[in-house]
Amino acid sequence: MKIQDSNDLLGYLITQADSRKDWFGFTQQRMTAVTLAHQIANQHADKMTPDEVVEYAFKLNQAIYNKIIKVT
């Protein structure tokens, strides 16, 4: 599967979630963080530095994992 935009990424993640329990591994987290950083930078480049964008994407990705993905 070739991922070209956030809709493709979401579709890929949903497919993976249905296929195996450990679907949201390190690679998927990194792909999501990069996509988030690009989207945030696109919308907020005039308000945030590149480091702030990356830090926010990292924190958001971790929150997604902790609150939505992680099985407790």
Q: Provide the residue range defining the domain that includes 23.
A: 6-69
Task: Give the tens place of pLDDT for each residue, 22-70.
Answer: 656 777 777 777 787 888 888 888 898 888 888 888 888 788 778 777 7
**Number of domain units in the chain:** 1
Tell whether 1 is covered by a domain: no
Tell whether 13 is covered by a domain: yes
pLDDT band, residue 19 (cuts 50/70/90): low
pTM: 0.55
Tell whether 52 is covered by a domain: yes
Tell whether 23 is covered by a domain: yes
Cα separation, 51 vs 68, whole angstroms:
25
What pLDDT, on a 0 to 100 scale, did the predictor assign at position 71? 60
